[in-house]
Amino acid sequence: MDPAAIKALLQAQLADCEFHVRGDGSHYEIDAIGTVFEGLRAVKKQQLVYAALGECIADGRVHAVNIRTFTPDEWRRRTAS
């Protein structure tokens, strides 16, 4: 799968989020930004993104994923510096 396909899959499952996906083949880095992450513990945030990729991980199309989640405010602060 290419990064655009991963991004489309994520957006279909978490429509209110913005995604930045980088990767090559089966290893990806994903930045997920959305209000859905507000007030959640880190593990729950990761689980939301992993759930959207579940089938791709199970069948081996996605082998390794590094996920970073942000609320819109966290993302603005991160990108402003």
Query: How confident is the model at residue 24, as a pLDDT?
Result: 84
Q: What is the mean pLDDT of residues 48-59?
A: 92
Q: Which domains does the chain show, CATH number per domain? A: 3-80 (3.30.300.90)
pLDDT band with cut points at 50, 70 and 90 for residue 81? low
Concatenated DSSP letters for 9-73? HHHHHSTT-EEEEEEETTEEEEEEE-GGGTT--HHHHHHHHHHHHHHHHHTTS--EEEEEEE-HH
Q: What is the mean pLDDT of residues 16-40?
A: 94
